[in-house]
Amino acid sequence: MTETATDPQTQTPAAQFAHFHERRELAVVQPQGSLALTNTQAVDSEQTIWGVPGRWAPLPEGQSGLTVIAEAADGIHVDGELVDGEAVVRGRDDPNPGAIVFSDTVTGFVIKLDGGSYALRVFDAHSEAIEDFGGIDAFAYNPDWVVTAAWSENPAGTTMGFEHLKDEGQTREEVIPGRITFTRDGVDYDLAAFKSGRALQLVFADSTSGDSTYSVGRFLFVAPNADGTITLDFNRAVLPPCAFSYAFNCPMPPKQNRFGVPIEAGEKNALAKDGTLLHPE
């Protein structure tokens, strides 16, 4: 008799949360998971990149990606082809982005930065962080932090400035498709989530931030329901990538997304094998 996996939709909410948490711990240790990122370096002129061979240069304005200049002995493969001379690595904003392999464990790809320049991201499947990773500390499932909020669409093109961790106070405009509003314990909340692929990304902080949870804040990915509501299951709150690697530059919570109460649900911190913080701030 063949055993079949339990359908997550038929599991209890607590069991669904346990499954979600297990998948999260697997995701961050993948060859290009958050713990594998060792460098993100912008390329504005021909230059070397820390940790990998070759020389890297920007393409003419309007073209996606970077040029790599290397010898065959450098062992760089772009889209499966060994580079011996020059090759173009298309950025992730291209419909057909390029893939870079430096070795059996080190890979990379190119991302577009705000302002139009490009950067190389380098991943090591045997990074020090992966080798030292002990797990993601999280609160036990808490049904009290599954909130049904109202969703109302904003006028097309509505944006809000979000500060990022490494941007020294400057903000980046993000599209805010709608308002998320609810009342809890007599307090009215009006939250802003920006578009992230097919989902909305809520960047928030609360009174646990910097105490029992990561100080920068946490992320929650949500989508409106057909009935005009939106479900905020804070048990699915995740640590931002910058909690796993200093090479990420994460958005920070705007003022309206900062709760004055503790949200004791979701992920807390990334831990080393000895139980200490993996990524001390």
Report the pLDDT value the prediction gives residue 1, as an integer from 0 to 100.
39
pLDDT at 8: 58
Burial 210-232 (b: 16+ CB within 10 A, else e): eeebbebbbbbebebeeeeebeb
User: How much is the CA Rg of the chain, to the nearest whole Å?
Assistant: 21
Taking the C-alpha atoms of residue 206 and residue 214, their distance in angstroms, rounded to an integer, is 10
- What's the pTM value of the predicted model, to 2 decimals? 0.91
Report pLDDT for 281: 67
Query: Scanning the structure block, which residue is given the tokens 């599954």?
Result: 146
Is residue 260 within 8 A of residue 207, CB to CB? The reply is yes
Per-residue pLDDT, 188: 97
From edge to edge, which strands make up the β-sheet containing 77-78? 37-43, 118-124, 106-112, 100-101, 77-78, 81-82
Residues 150, 178: contact at Cβ < 8 Å? no
- 24 φ/ψ angles, rounded to the nearest 5 degrees: -65, -45
Q: Which residues of 17-31 are buried (b: 16+ CB within 10 A; e: fewer)?
A: beebbeebeeebbee
Listed as own residue / partner, the contacts of 8-16 with beta carbons closer than 8 Å and 24 or more positions apart are 13/141, 13/143, 13/146, 13/235, 14/141
**pLDDT attached to residue 168:** 82
Q: Are 133 and 143 in contact (CB under 8 A)?
A: no
- Residue by residue, pLDDT tens for the chain (281 residues) are 344 455 656 789 999 999 999 999 999 999 999 999 999 999 999 999 999 999 999 999 999 999 999 999 999 999 999 999 999 999 999 999 999 999 999 999 999 998 899 999 999 999 999 999 999 999 999 999 999 999 999 999 999 999 998 888 889 999 999 999 999 999 999 999 999 988 999 999 999 999 999 999 999 999 999 999 999 999 999 999 999 999 999 999 999 999 999 999 999 999 999 999 998 76
Q: How far apart are CA 14 and CA 120, in angstroms?
A: 39
Query: For position 6, what pLDDT does the model report?
Result: 55
pLDDT value at residue 7: 61
Residue type, 30: Q
Alpha-helical segments (H) within 28-162 = 128-132
| Residue 146 and residue 231 in contact, taking contact as beta carbons nearer than 8 Å | yes
Q: How many Å is the maximal CA-CA distance in the chain?
A: 66
Domain extents for the chain? 34-124, 134-272
